[in-house]
Each structure stands twice: as C-alpha cells, then as structure tokens.
Structure 1
Amino acid sequence: MSRYDKLIRDFSDIHGKNPKRLLILSFIITIILGSGISLIKIEQGDDMSQLPNDIEEIQVFMKMEDKFERYNSIVIVINSENVFSPDILKEAYLLNQELMNVYGIEGSSFTLKLDEIYLSKEELKNRIEVSDSLGYMLIRLNVIKGVDNMKVYDDVKEIISKTTLNVQPGGDIAMGRELTDIILPEMSKISTFGMIGVLLCVILTFRSIRYGIMPLICVGVGIVWMMGISGFSGISLSSELVGVVSMMAGIGIDFAIQTINRYNLERTPIIIEKIVKTMEGVVEPIVVSSIVAGFGFIAMLTGSLSILDTMGKMLFIGVFSCMGVTLIFLPSFLVVQEKIFQDTKNLIKKKMEVYNEKD
C-alpha cells in the first residue's frame, strides 16, 4: 500500500470510527463561515464598471466623463392634464424642496420659485421641461458621483410615494434598482424550481427519499461555505452574478451523488468497512475533479472584465467548498444516518415481534 493510499484509508477510518466528531466539526465550520455571508455586499454596477481600466480608449472616456459629467441623474416624471396648473406647480415645488434635502442630491432642473407659479405659459415653458401636450413635466435630479445611488433612489422613491401628484421615477439609477428588485426574486424562483427538479431526479435515481435529500443538504452546506468565504474575502456580488449560486449547485451536487452512489454499491453490512471502501473509491476522483475545475475557473482571472474576475474567484471557492463538504461532512453524515436508520428499524422490528407474541 502506497503512502497516498494509506493516508486515504486513515482519513476514511476517522469517518467510520468518529463520525459524530467530524459531523460536529462540520457544523462548527458551517456556523463560522455562515457568519461571513452578512459581509457580502450586493452592488449595482454600471456598464463602465465592468470594462477594463487599462485600455487607453476607456481611460480617455472616463476622464471626459469626470470632467463633463459630474453627476448621475434621477428623472421624476409628473403626469397631469395640465402641468401648468398653479396647484400642480405648487405641489411640484414642495416635492422638489423635499427631494433636494435627500443626501446625495446636489441639484435639480426645477428652479421655479413659489411666487413664480403664476407666470405666463411661454415663460413657464422656458423654465420647466414639459411635453408638447403639457401632460408631462420632468424634474432631473443631480446625484453626486460616489454616493450610494441605490440608497438615494430608495429615499427619493419614499418621498414621491407620499405626494398627491401622479409621479413616476426614471433614469439609469431607477432602472438599475428596479432590475435588481426583479432579478433577485426571479433567481430565487428559478433556484426553487431547479432544486425541486433536481430532488425529483435524485430520488428517482436512488429510489429513496432519504438518499435523495442528502445531495441537496450537501449543496446547501457547500453554498454556505462558498458565500461565507467570499464574504470574509471581501468579494462583492453584483446582480449579474446572482446566478453563480445556481451554477455552483449544479457542480456541487455531482460530488455528493458520486459519493452516495458508491456508498450504495458497497454490499458489506459493516458500516465502518462500507464507508472506508466508499472513501477509497471517491476521494481521488473528487480531488482531481476539483483541482481541474479550479484551474479552469482561475483562468477566468486572466480576463480583463471585472465580472469574469469575480465569477472566477467565487466559482473557484465554490468548487473547493463543495469538495470539502463532500469529504468532511457527507461521509460522517452517511454513517450517522445509517446507524440511526438501522437502530430505528431494529427497534420497530423488536416491538412488532413483542406485539405478535402477545397476540
């Protein structure tokens, strides 16, 4: 037996002889890493933030943007039959005053004063941005660059929700926020349907609800490890990268299915011997698969787009997180649940025998 094989066997023996200790260790690791999830920030990046900064054309464009476009903007659209109505203009003035008090907003296109709402139509057209039909009025708010655009937008939306005017927000910041609010629930729904589909397939494959649920538990723990390590590493997650979790679930569940399938193929009735043979058969392919996949994801770091850099880091962490869960958590979990299942089965069998003897 080579030194490598002996190392695998010793590691397998630990699972067979001390499964509860390793299971407790896995829970402790999961709790510690789970606390790192709260450190992950979900950022709404614009198109420019995804582009490389070392290209001359991009640098020139960013310099021009800094010089000539000092602000981001939120557009407020007011809808009315006649936006030049004094009542509408008064409400618009009061609304604009409240919006100007929001932190991060430095200017507004609505410069009309309260005593100027009775100006003539021609004068008002020169002062206010309106549609030709006079049914819409636009107020452009200048948002300072560098502030939290999403926080500013949320504050603006809270204010306009209280006005009596028919108001709708618009602009790039508003669109980014609304897209984020749409994407996150959609990804949650897609992940839920995906997990249900995977669960049904695994249950049908193993012909067992018990063994069908185990891969999903492993994937869940693996995702917690991945997100926790990412949080402690200071990785920020943008709305475009929410799908990384689903991608990781597809990769991680494969390790668990391989291990459980190999465990079920072992016919020895002795649990310790069964888990040792299982580990001897799956450790090497799982480790090699993780290393190969890890190198593939690390290669994404050579790309110039920041979204590829973040995705590569998270998937690299995710692959080895799922490997760790499969090699540390799953074998001990298999042993413990098998012992509980057998003890419960024997207990029920004894009670049935006692019940039959009484009859």
Structure 2
Amino acid sequence: MNYQWIIDRIDTVIVARPKTVIVAFLLLTVLFASGLGSITTESGQEQFIEDLPSYQAVEDINDEFSPTFTEETTSTTIVQDSNNVLSRASLIDMLETRQRILDSDPLRAQSVSTPAETVATTLDPSATTPEEQLWAVESATQAEIDAAVREAADEPGFENQLSDDFNRESASASASRATVTHEAGPGAGASGGPGGGSEFPSNRVDRIQYITHDDASNIWVQGTAPDTTATTTGLVLPAALVLILVFLTVAYRDPVDIGIGLLAIIMTLIWTFGFIGIAGIPFAVLLIAIPPILIAIGIDFGIHSINRYREERVRGAEITEAMTRTTDQMTVAFAIVTGTSAVGFLSNMISAFPPTQDFGLVAAAGIIFTFFIFGVFVPAAKVAVDRARQRYPIPTMATTPLGSESSPLGRLLSVGVTVAKRGPLVFLLLTAMATAGGAVYATGVDTGFSPDDFQPAEETPEYMQSLPESIRPPEQFEYVRINNYLDRHFEENSQVLMYVEGPMTEDSALEEIHRASQSPPPTFERDRRQAETQSIITLIQSRAERDPEFRALVKRNDRNDNGIPDDNLPQIYAALAAPADSDLDSFLADDRRSAQVIYTVDGDADDKAVTNDAYTVANSYRMAAQPTGSVIIFDEAISLVLESVIETLILTLVGAAGFLIMSYWIIEGRPSLGVVNVIPILVTVVAVVASMRALGIAFNAINGTILAIAVGIGIDYAVHVVHRFADEYHERPLYPALQRTVIGTGGALTGSMLTTVFGIGVLVLALNPALGVFGILISLSVLYAYLSSVLLLPSIIVVWERLATESETPMPLFDAVSDAATNQQSPSAGD
C-alpha cells in the first residue's frame, strides 16, 4: 500500500500554509471550548456497580418495599460517644438533642431514631412525645434505666444502634448512633452527592451540631461523603503543569518552543474536555487521570518532533527541508503510536463498569486529538516561528537536540547498544528468566472493591494547607473520621436480601418461600433447621401469635397444618394489611408480584462464601429470585474487576500486536518488526503487575485499567525506537543504525519519560487514595517501558536481524560459542 502520498499532503500543508493550519486549529479549539459548560460530575462507588443484577435488585427492593412518603427524604447520622452512652446523663444528652432537632423548623426533621428513645418508651410505654420521653428518663433512677436497657435489648434493631462493646448485664456501651430523617426540599430529590437531596437542608450538619446537648457525652454529626473530584482536579492539574514546565524547559531550552508546547497542551485539554461536554459524558473520578496522560503523551510527541527537527537543522537542512524530513518520519511514528494507544484505551469499552467504558472512550478520543495537534499544529507553528525568526529579531536560546554521542546522556544511552553488540542472546535469556519469574510472582496480586477506595484519608497532609484557599482541602474530613469510628466500634449487620418475583397470590407462594429457607447453607444463620429470616411469613406468624381472630384465619387456610397458609392468600394479605401501621408493604409489593426475604448471615464469613451460599438459596426457589445486599454487590464487583483486567489486557495485546504487524508490513514490508515492538510491552506488563504485588496494591475498579494503559502508553516508546531504527537501517549497517537510533531517539525518550513520570506522578497528590495509586502505577509503567525500550530493544533488534534477514552481522559472544560447539563436533584430522 502506498501511503506516502498522504504524508506528502500533510508535509505540503504544514510547510506551505502554516498560518492557515494555525488558524484552523484555533477555530476548532473555540468550537470544542463551547462544550466545556456542559460538563457534569459524578462521584461515589454507585457509578461502578449500578449495572450489576444484584445492585438492580436492591434498587427494586428500595422502590417496592420502602415506606412511601408524600415527600422525598434525606438522612443524617448522629454518633454519641462517652464512657457509657446508656447512663442517665448520656441518655438525657441524646433525648434533649433529639427534641431540639425535631423542634427546629429549618431542619424539617420527620423523626430521630435513637436507642435513647427505645429506653425511654420501655421505662414508660405511655410516653409518646419527645417531652414525655425525656421526662421518663429524667425521673428514673440508674437502676431502673439499667433494667429498661436489658429489657429493650430484646427489641429488634436495638443492639444494632450500639457499639459492639455493648454489655447487656451491665447495661453499658461506649457509643450509639441515631438517624435523623428530613423532608427534602422541593425538587431536590433523594439522590446522593452534591446538589442532590442529600444536601438538603443546607448546612444541616452545622445546624445540628449547634443545637446538640452534650454535657455528659460527645455528639458528632456526619453529613454527606466528601466529593474530592473538583479539589483533586484543581490540585493535580496545576502541579502537573508546573512540573511539565520545568521538564519542558530542560528539553526545549527555548522559551518560544516552550510556548508552542504549552499552547498545544492547553488545546489538547480543551478539545478533550469539550468532547466530554458535547458527548454528555459525566466527569467521574477515573477521568481525572486522563489530562495527565494526554499531557504526557503530547509532551512526548512534542519533544520527538522538535528534537528530530533540530537534528536535521544541525546537519544544515533549511526550514522546509528539515520539517519535511521530520514529518515524513514522525507522522508515521505518531500514527502507529496513536493507533496502538487507541486500541489499548478502547479495550476498556468491554469493561463491566460504565465509568471505565467512559474512560476508554474519552482517552481514545484524547489520543487522536493529541495526534492531530502535535502532529500537524505544532510542526506548522514551529515552521511559522522559525520563518519569522529569519525576518525579525526573535531570540533563539537553543537549537541542538537532546543527546549526542559525546554527551553524558548519549554515553549512558549507549549501554543498551553495547550489550546488544557483545551478548544479546545471554541478556535476552536472563531477561526472559526474570520475566517468567515475575509472571509467576504476579499471579498472586489481589483484587478488591470497597467504598473506602473512593474516600480520601481522614487527615490531609500538612503541606496541602499552604495551598491557595480556592483549592485548599480541609485539614480533616469529618465524614471520613466518623465513618472510620463507626467501622471500628460498630459491627454491621450482615444480611442477604432476596428479591423474589412471581405471583404471590398463588396457593404455593408462601410454602415455596418456606421450603427455600429450610436446611440453609453454612454461612446463613439458622433456628434449628430453618434459616433466620424476616419475610411475609414471619409477619404472619407474629400477627397470629397476638391476634386470635387472625390466627383462626390462618388455621382455616393452612392445609398441611405447618403454620404457613396455602389457600386464599389474597384474603390473608388483606387481613394482614388492615392495621394502618402494618409492615406488609415492607415484604410484599402492592401488585402482589414480588416479595422481599431478609436472611441473616454470619458477619465473619468470607464474602465469596456468603455470595455462593446466597445463590444456592436463590436457586432453590421455583420463582425467580435474585440475592442482593452489600456483601454480594461488592463481591460480584471484585470478580468483575479481575475479569475486566484479563479481558482488556488480552484484547489490548491482541489488538495492538495485530495493528503493529499490519503497520510494519505496510510501511516497511517487514511484519516481524511488529512482533519486535510487542516484546518490550510484555516485559513491562509483567513488571507492573509484579510491582503491584510487591507494593501491596490490589486491582480495583479504578486501577483495573492500568494494564491496558501500560500497553497504550508504553508501546509509544518501543514504536519510536523501532520505527527510527527501520528508517536508519535503510541507509547504514545494523550497529551504526542502532547507535544513531538509541542516541537520537533515546534523548527524546528520556525527556519524555521524565516529563511523564513526574507529570502523571503528581496524581499521588490526589485526595482520592485509589487515584494516587493509579498515578504511581502509570509512572511505573512508563518507567519500565522506557527502560525496556533503550536497554532491551537493541538486543531484540540484533537477534531479529540475524533471524529475519540473511545478514551475517557479527555477534561476538554468540559466534564464539557457536564456533566452539562446531569445532568440538567436527572430526579431528586423524580420524
């Protein structure tokens, strides 16, 4: 295929009409900038799990079985801490706080659920108002309160509101928690996150904290989980730009070239962010990593382009000739890099997580924008500036490329060529052994998915407090501090929710729920041979125990006399729903087409075991049954993380290898060069995963894209070396071509590597811990890709040349061993 005519057209436009190119790109920048105002944000772990069947089931349960209010509601958690929150003084603190919250009109509190209320109503069952309940505790002795606590411990849910050190005999606990339910504002909705119903009433945390009564205890108010997306973006991008400016100064050493590079970076970001707004893609936490990635790739393209142009200018070529030679080579290299990187990024489209799919799409679009801006706009701007320098006294600070044979960097880069000359096979064998060992070690890397992946640390580093006020994070995230406290002191209930769909009015419906709960699996709590559950059946049994008339109705419709009605179920449901405060709607849908069954499970059991057992119980239903609950949702998410990592890696490697083989077959007529290009990337991937295990980093929903990114970015380095070598090999022998390649391209690679490692490395400043780890992993990927390209690739190329061509280029150590083996096998003269 003759592709040169395309390159020639690009060359002509760049060198003949540079000003037209510049104006066209600036107009496109204005067009993309129009999409910046349409960007929306999205935060939290729900965005990663919302498509899971188990998550959809819990959403259905919330829709069908949650109490219905005329207005949307939001909630606030209150935590009380003292030596004993069940003491008389501490109970008074909480009850006075509760009364003040209910009396505060701006808080629009519907209820405040607290164990102090349960103790008060146990002391005086006739106390129905907050004032009466407070008086019941104030007028009681501590002994009476202790007796009421022991009695209240039999109430469902009482112990769940107390810390796990609750002692029934001594009637003591170090902490309790209460839940305030608010009426949301008009149109606010009940959605979480900034701007949703969870933000209403405004300043509710401060309002509640102001009116708390905490003479004998400490009372803390937990609001909404912090959204660190904007803060992190405002912190990371400026830091990345500062570091990049430093390395651009070192790489370009010319203020005008630095200006061209920075302008191109800004244009790339505007195009990419504008695309996000125009396409309606929400800006989630994972997308924060895209700007540093594109900046790094753009800087790499810019350094290579300017460096190659300077090489030609140093040799005496005029502006037009120098840029034509540069774009002849660099356009092809950039196209190969863009194609393979896009394949790597787009492989994330098969991920089970929507934010990861968005990441792949945006990153692929961004790398294409980077190709056009740095492959066409930057050369055109460079031509226009250098021509202006010939006419006007524009200062020129530097015109020499990075790296020369006599420079310290050039001598350092030559190490890989020296090894390739003396013992490439030995070096490759040692590398293969190390890579194989690393691959075995890497199989032990963990996977994880937790809400903690999306929360910042409890305290922010001290140095962040010196940042400008607009981007300065708080010294401490109170939400996270309280959340950590709850994790340490409260044992969460472990439950499996079963969403059962089917005609619940059929005679066998309740018997089926009963049968499915018999002989439960090991992780399910049981009462004799029956699983410990809450369901429509337990509601019927509880009502029958205290209502003789209802008990008689159940008995008349219980054909096998086991306490489970199996006839006239609509009549049973109607009778059960008769009291206004009936809990029927909590377990049976209004249309009688679905039901909820709540199973209690062992809180210490492994999540995978609980999930497997939950699906075992679900399969025992004849009707459709979907288990759900936090344990199952996050366990399934963990499984999908590993599955997505493997699938995207395979797709990336296969797609990138196929693209490279096809590219080199079209460009050089040597498809085997594509295989040469892939080998360093395999080494890089193994090194990254082995490093993850060594550093104790687990794959999660955020860094699960790292391997595809390692291929997408890392292959950039190998492409530049291989493509430059192919060009040089046309004109000179193997080793001179290799030396010229590694020193010329290696200098640009070094500048690019340093810029990328430190530019993306600033993600460690991210308040989101998973994003910080993500930055570390990308930096490691780039570092390993660089080292494998300048140290390993020369030896691979030497061996490739002996195998793929008929050349007899000397390989001293290999030839010596080969000659010795040949002489030993040859018969002596006397034989």
Q: Return the match for 2:244 from 183, 191, 198.
A: 198
Aligned amino acid, residue 92 of structure 1:
I
- Pair 1:310-2:319 in alignment: no
Asked whether the equivalents of residues 13 and 272 of structure 1 are also in contact (C-alpha less than 8 Å), the reply is no
Aligned amino acid, residue 381 of structure 2:
F
Q: CA deviation at 1:194?
A: 2.5
Q: Return the match for 2:48 from 25, 47, 50.
A: 50
Which whole-Å deviations, capped at 9, do the CAs of 1:115-162 have from their partners, x for residues lacking one?
945324365799xx9987899865234769764642234443435546
What's the counterpart of residue 140 of structure 1?
181
> Given the two structures, how large is their TM-score scaled by the length of structure 2?
0.35
121 and 303 in structure 1: CA distance in 2 versus 1, 3 angstrom threshold: same
What's the counterpart of residue 83 of structure 1?
93
Q: CA deviation at 1:264?
A: 1.5
Asked whether the equivalents of residues 305 and 330 of structure 2 are also in contact (C-alpha less than 8 Å), the reply is yes
Aligned amino acid, residue 331 of structure 1:
P
Q: CA deviation at 1:255?
A: 1.5
What's the counterpart of residue 18 of structure 1?
17
- Pair 1:156-2:201 in alignment: yes
Which whole-Å deviations, capped at 9, do the CAs of 1:231-267 have from their partners, x for residues lacking one?
2112111134322222222222211221111121122
What's the counterpart of residue 131 of structure 2?
118
Aligned amino acid, residue 100 of structure 1:
R
Asked whether the equivalents of residues 42 and 283 of structure 2 are also in contact (C-alpha less than 8 Å), the reply is yes
322 and 314 in structure 1: CA distance in 2 versus 1, 3 angstrom threshold: same
Asked whether the equivalents of residues 345 and 363 of structure 2 are also in contact (C-alpha less than 8 Å), the reply is yes
Q: Distance in 2 between matches of 1:120 and 1:61?
A: 35
- Pair 1:325-2:373 in alignment: yes
Q: Distance in 2 between matches of 1:52 and 1:159?
A: 28
31 and 169 in structure 1: CA distance in 2 versus 1, 3 angstrom threshold: farther
310 and 15 in structure 1: CA distance in 2 versus 1, 3 angstrom threshold: same
Q: Distance in 2 between matches of 1:347 and 1:92?
A: 70
Q: Distance in 1 between matches of 2:200 and 2:59?
A: 28
Q: CA deviation at 1:290?
A: 0.5
What's the counterpart of residue 60 of structure 2?
63
Which whole-Å deviations, capped at 9, do the CAs of 1:264-290 have from their partners, x for residues lacking one?
112246323332222112111111110
Most deviating of 75-84 and 283-292: 75-84
Asked whether the equivalents of residues 79 and 177 of structure 2 are also in contact (C-alpha less than 8 Å), the reply is yes
Aligned amino acid, residue 292 of structure 2:
S
Asked whether the equivalents of residues 84 and 121 of structure 1 are also in contact (C-alpha less than 8 Å), the reply is no
Q: CA deviation at 1:17?
A: 2.1
- Pair 1:109-2:112 in alignment: yes
Please give the secondary structure, in 1, of the residue aligned with 2:352: coil
Asked whether the equivalents of residues 75 and 140 of structure 1 are also in contact (C-alpha less than 8 Å), the reply is yes
Q: CA deviation at 1:196?
A: 2.0
What's the counterpart of residue 339 of structure 1?
387
Q: Return the match for 1:296 from 340, 344, 367.
A: 344
Q: CA deviation at 1:210?
A: 3.0
Q: Return the match for 1:92 from 101, 104, 114.
A: 101
Q: Distance in 1 between matches of 2:37 and 2:191?
A: 21
Q: Distance in 2 between matches of 1:23 and 1:41?
A: 30
Q: Distance in 2 between matches of 1:92 and 1:133?
A: 23
291 and 90 in structure 1: CA distance in 2 versus 1, 3 angstrom threshold: same
- Pair 1:36-2:35 in alignment: yes
Please give the secondary structure, in 2, of the residue aligned with 1:139: strand
Most deviating of 73-82 and 222-231: 73-82
90 and 56 in structure 1: CA distance in 2 versus 1, 3 angstrom threshold: closer
Q: Distance in 1 between matches of 2:345 and 2:306?
A: 26
- Identity percentage of aligned residues: 15
Which whole-Å deviations, capped at 9, do the CAs of 1:290-342 have from their partners, x for residues lacking one?
01111111111111121221110111111101111113321221122223334
Q: Distance in 1 between matches of 2:350 and 2:312?
A: 43
246 and 156 in structure 1: CA distance in 2 versus 1, 3 angstrom threshold: farther
What's the counterpart of residue 265 of structure 1?
311
Q: Distance in 1 between matches of 2:192 and 2:94?
A: 34
Q: Distance in 2 between matches of 1:12 and 1:235?
A: 35
Asked whether the equivalents of residues 78 and 165 of structure 1 are also in contact (C-alpha less than 8 Å), the reply is no
Asked whether the equivalents of residues 345 and 360 of structure 2 are also in contact (C-alpha less than 8 Å), the reply is yes
72 and 245 in structure 1: CA distance in 2 versus 1, 3 angstrom threshold: farther
Q: Distance in 2 between matches of 1:120 and 1:162?
A: 23
123 and 22 in structure 1: CA distance in 2 versus 1, 3 angstrom threshold: farther
Aligned amino acid, residue 203 of structure 2:
E
Which whole-Å deviations, capped at 9, do the CAs of 1:191-225 have from their partners, x for residues lacking one?
32222222222321233333234333222211111
Aligned amino acid, residue 139 of structure 1:
V
- Pair 1:229-2:275 in alignment: yes
Q: Please report the RMSD computed on the Cα atoms of aligned residues, expressed in angstroms.
A: 3.8
Most deviating of 331-340 and 148-157: 148-157
Q: Distance in 2 between matches of 1:198 and 1:46?
A: 31
> Given the two structures, how large is their TM-score scaled by the length of structure 1?
0.76
Structure 2 unmatched runs, 5+: 82-89, 118-127, 139-151, 153-157, 163-172, 213-218, 397-831
Most deviating of 256-265 and 5-14: 5-14
Q: Distance in 2 between matches of 1:43 and 1:51?
A: 13
What's the counterpart of residue 599 of structure 2?
none
Q: Distance in 1 between matches of 2:78 and 2:257?
A: 56
Asked whether the equivalents of residues 73 and 181 of structure 2 are also in contact (C-alpha less than 8 Å), the reply is no
Q: Return the match for 1:244 from 269, 290, 294.
A: 290
63 and 218 in structure 1: CA distance in 2 versus 1, 3 angstrom threshold: same
Please give the secondary structure, in 2, of the residue aligned with 1:329: helix
72 and 270 in structure 1: CA distance in 2 versus 1, 3 angstrom threshold: farther
Q: Distance in 2 between matches of 1:26 and 1:168?
A: 54
Asked whether the equivalents of residues 100 and 108 of structure 1 are also in contact (C-alpha less than 8 Å), the reply is no
Q: Distance in 2 between matches of 1:52 and 1:162?
A: 33
317 and 72 in structure 1: CA distance in 2 versus 1, 3 angstrom threshold: farther
251 and 156 in structure 1: CA distance in 2 versus 1, 3 angstrom threshold: farther
Please give the secondary structure, in 2, of the residue aligned with 1:43: coil
From the CA coordinates, give the structure whose radius of gyration is larger: 2
Asked whether the equivalents of residues 74 and 181 of structure 2 are also in contact (C-alpha less than 8 Å), the reply is yes
Which whole-Å deviations, capped at 9, do the CAs of 1:29-85 have from their partners, x for residues lacking one?
0011011122121112433x31273x5545444433443457885315388985368
The structure with more helix, counted as a fraction of residues: 1
Structure 1 unmatched runs, 5+: 102-106, 349-359
Q: Distance in 1 between matches of 2:238 and 2:395?
A: 37
Please give the secondary structure, in 2, of the residue aligned with 1:109: strand
Please give the secondary structure, in 1, of the residue aligned with 2:78: strand
Please give the secondary structure, in 1, of the residue aligned with 2:76: strand
